[in-house]
Amino acid sequence: MIAGIAILIAGTALSAVVQGIPLFTISRLLQGVGFGAATTAASTAAASVLPQERLGEGIGYHGLGQAIAMSIGPAFALYLVGTDPSTNLYVGLALVGFAGLVIALNARYESKWQTLPSSSAYRIKMETRLELDSKDGQAPSSTTVTTSETINSEKYPEGDQVSKRTLRDSFNIFEPRALPGAIPQMIMCPTFGFGVFFAGLYGTTLGYTHAGLFYTISAVSMIIIRMISKHFMDTVPAIKTMTGAVACGILCCLMLLAAPYGEPVFLASGIFYGLATGISLPLNQSVAVKNTPPERWGAANALFLLANDIGIGFASVIWGVINDSFGFQTSIVCVIVCLIASYASAWIVYPARDKRWRH
DSSP string, 288-349: HHHTS-GGGHHHHHHHHHHHHHHHHHHHHHHHHHHHHHH-HHHHHHHHHHHHHHHHHHHHHH
CA–CA–CA angle 140, 141, 145 (5° rounding): 115
Least confident of 75-89, 137-151, 202-216, 317-331: 137-151
Dihedral sign, Cα of residue 346, residue 217, residue 312, residue 103: negative
- Whether residue 196 contacts residue 179, with contact meaning beta carbons closer than 8 Å, is answered with no
What does residue 146 show for φ and ψ, rounded to 5 degrees? -125, 160
Look at residue 285 in the predicted model and tell me its pLDDT: 86
Rounded to an integer, what distance in angstroms lies between the CA atom of residue 274 and that of residue 281? Answer: 11
Cβ partners under 8 Å of residue 327, min gap 6:
none
How many C-beta atoms lie closer than 10 Å to residue 133's C-beta? 15
Q: Note the pLDDT tens digit of each residue in 252-264.
A: 999 999 999 999 9
Q: Note the pLDDT tens digit of each residue in 160-183.
A: 443 345 445 555 667 888 899 999
Q: Is the peptide bond before 157 cis (omega within 30 degrees of 0)?
A: no
Angle subtended by helix axes 64-81 and 213-227, to nearest 10: 160
Look at residue 163 in the predicted model and tell me its pLDDT: 39
Angle subtended by helix axes 64-81 and 88-105, to nearest 10: 150
pLDDT at 153 over 60: no
Burial 41-78 (b: 16+ CB within 10 A, else e): bbbbbbbbbbbbebbbbbbbbbbbebbeebbeeeeeee
Q: Note the pLDDT tens digit of each residue in 195-252.
A: 878 888 899 899 998 888 888 898 889 888 888 877 777 788 889 999 999 999 999 9
**32, amino acid identity:** G
Higher pLDDT, 156 or 28: 28
